[in-house]
Structure 1
Amino acid sequence: MGTDIAYVRGDATTPQGKGPRVIAHVCNDLGGWGKGFVVALSRRWPEPEREYRRWHRARAENDFGLGAVRMVRVERWLWVANMVGQHGIRTGGSGGVPVRYEAIDAALAKLADEAARLGASVHMPRIGCGLAGGRWERMEPLIRARLTDRGISVTVYDHG
């Protein structure tokens, strides 16, 4: 009993709808936060960045790494899901793109469990397709398989 992905124009940091909502986005595995969608998140709430940096610093003692997810509550009915799905950052060399589809797939599976537990809808930009260098045609099927096919409502926001 799946739903379909809703595509809207707008800002993923102001998710539409009522009830519990999760804003999902992709982070890198280097502890770097400061470019792309995270800038908009940090303008609204300090907690996601603070938690991400704390999580990364203590990585020897926790689950920080590709495929991991950390849910950060920012308002009563709103969470930000920091999903580690990018290996390193793009530098300009020929090392390929930082996106890791397998890690994002694993993170989306964990996100689905959390969203189901909370009874939450999921809101996101086109994850993994900005600085991470991923392609939406590879990302969309992962979102369908992990979230909408489980009946979790997903809204994707295109800026502008």
Structure 2
Amino acid sequence: MSTEIEYRSGDATLPQASGPRIIAHVCNDAGGWGAGFVVAVSRRWRQPEAAYRAWHRDRATSGFALGALQLVRVEDELWVANMVGQHGIRKRNRTSKASGDAPVRYEAIDRALASLADEAVALRASVHMPRIGCGLAGGRWDVVEPLVTRNLTGRGVAVTVYDPV
């Protein structure tokens, strides 16, 4: 069973659906949390940041790596999926423009989405996200969208992508 990605304007931290829901986003592998979509996540819940920081701190034994997924329950029937799909943090130069190669790692996002699909199917959850990997990670949605389609909607998981208003 395949479904289409639903696109809507709004806040991905306020998923517009009933039943079990997962909010998915991309994190870096450097342990940094504090810019981009995670700011909105941290405004609503403290658990995803605390879990991510502990996961990174214990990375020698925790399974933290590019392509890994961490599911953090934040409310009844609501989880945040920390997906490690960005290598490092993009540096800024003196003119505030991004410099260097984009830190997005599409293969890692693909692996994390495959794990997310398993969790979403088991929980019978819909998935809600911004255009993952396409903000500070520097990715392109025309590359990420097929990964979402293959891994999630291709397995019958309802996905809503939110564009900020």
TM-score grouping bracket, smaller chain normalisation: over 0.9
Structure 1 residue 71 and structure 2 residue 71: aligned?
A: yes
Map of 1:155 onto structure 2:
160
Structure 1 residue 36 and structure 2 residue 36: aligned?
A: yes
Equivalent residue runs for 1:132-151 within 5 Å: 132-151=137-156
User: Structure 2 regions of 5+ residues with no counterpart?
Assistant: 94-98
- Please tell me the residue identity of whatever aligns with 2:60: A
* Matching residue within 125, 132, 147 for 2:130: 125
User: Structure 1 regions of 5+ residues with no counterpart?
Assistant: none
Instruction: Please report the RMSD computed on the Cα atoms of aligned residues, expressed in angstroms.
Output: 0.8
Secondary structure (helix, strand or coil) at the match of 2:146 reads helix
CA shift, 1:95, in A, is 3.0
CA shift, 1:53, in A, is 0.1
Structure 1 residue 87 and structure 2 residue 92: aligned?
A: no
Secondary structure (helix, strand or coil) at the match of 2:116 reads helix
CA shift, 1:92, in A, is 3.2
Question: How high is the TM-score relative to the length of structure 1?
Answer: 0.98
What fraction of aligned residue pairs are identical, expressed as a percent?
Answer: 69
Q: Deviations over 1:101-136 (max 9, x none)?
A: 000000000000000000000000000000000000
**Aligned length, in residue pairs:** 160
Map of 2:20 onto structure 1:
20
Secondary structure (helix, strand or coil) at the match of 1:133 reads coil
- Please tell me the residue identity of whatever aligns with 1:159: P
Map of 2:3 onto structure 1:
3
CA shift, 1:62, in A, is 1.5
Whole-Å Cα distance in 1 between the matches of residues 74 and 159 of structure 2? 19
Question: How high is the TM-score relative to the length of structure 2?
Answer: 0.95
Map of 2:96 onto structure 1:
none
Q: Deviations over 1:18-63 (max 9, x none)?
A: 0000000000000000000000000000000000000000001121
Whole-Å Cα distance in 1 between the matches of residues 92 and 57 of structure 2? 26
* Matching residue within 101, 104, 108 for 1:103: 108
